[in-house]
Amino acid sequence: MKSSLLICLLLISAPSIANAQPSGKQHASLTRAQTREAERRLSELGYWTGAVDGIFDPATRSALIAFQKWEGRPITSQLTIAELEAIRNVRSPKAREVGYAHVEVDLDRQVLLVVNDESGVRVLPVSTGSGKPFMDDGQMSIAYTPRGRFLVYDKTPGWEKPPFQSMYYPSYISGGVAIHGYRSVPTEPASHGCIRIPLFAARELSQLMELGTIVLVYDQVSFVSGKSWAENPTLRQAALINSQSADYTYGPEGTKPRPRAF
C-alpha cells in the first residue's frame, strides 16, 4: 500500500518538477563572461555602464534599468538569460532631436540622454517629480518637473551646501530644479521636481554639461525644440543671461537663494 502511494506521488510530482526546470534556467545567475558580454553590448548601444569588467556593480545595474525602461520591459534590475538575449537583439536608443549636442530628459521613459554632435547617445535612468504635494518653506507645493527647453545656467561642484547637501554635482536648468546625483534613484518618479541621476555618473555628466548646454525635458504630449538656440549662438546667449537673472536674485551678502527641489 505504501509503495503504491509513493509511486502515485512520484508520478504526480514529476511533471511539476520538469516544468519548473526551464524557469530555473531562465533566472539562473550569469557567468562573468556573460555579464561582460551584456556590459559590452549595453555600452555599444549607448547605455552608461561604467567599466566593462564582468562585475554586476551599481553602474551595470543602472545601465540595465535604463535599457529596461527604454525598451518598455519589466524593470526587474536583474540580469538574466532572458535580458541578455534581449540586449543582443535591439537597436541603439535614438534622441528626439539630432544634429547638435544637447541633453534630453524623457519623462515617460524616465531616462536622460546625452546627445553629441554626431547624434550618438549615452543613456542614464532618472527619477523626476512625483506629482505629489510636499511642504516647502511652510507652503504646500507640487513635486513637478517642468517641461520645455532650458539651458544649464549654474552649477555646483561636488555636494551642494546645506540644507541641500544631498544633491551631488547639481546643474541648474530652471529656478531650483537641477539635474544632480542622488543616493536614491527609484525606478519611478519620486523627486520634488529635480532630475535625479545615479551618483557614479554625476561628476562626469556635470563636466559634459557646460554652462549654456541645451536641455530638453518632455513627455508624450509636450515637446519644445532646441534647434533655434543651437543654430543661433546670440539667441542662446541672450536666453542664458535671462535665465541667470530671472532665477537668481542676489541678496545683501551676495548669496543665492537656496534650491528648493531635489
Question: For 4-35, how does the pLDDT look when each residue is reduced to its tens digit (9 = 90+)?
Answer: 433 333 333 333 323 333 333 444 579 999 99
69: Cβ–Cβ under 8 A, 6 or more apart, which residues? 75, 109, 110, 111, 125, 187
Residue 188's Cβ-side half-sphere holds a number of Cα atoms within 13 Å equal to 5
Question: For 167-180, how does the pLDDT look when each residue is reduced to its tens digit (9 = 90+)?
Answer: 999 999 998 899 99
Q: How far is CA 171 from the centre of its chain?
A: 15
Strands 111-115 and 102-106: antiparallel
- Domains in the chain (CATH in brackets) are 30-93 (1.10.101), 102-247 (2.40.440.10)
pTM to 2 decimal places: 0.84
List the chain residues with pLDDT less than 50. 1-27, 248-259
- Label each residue of 75-144 as H, E or C: CCCCCCHHHHHHHHCCCCCCCCCCCCCEEEEECCCCEEEEECCCCCEEEEECECECCCEEEECCEEEECC
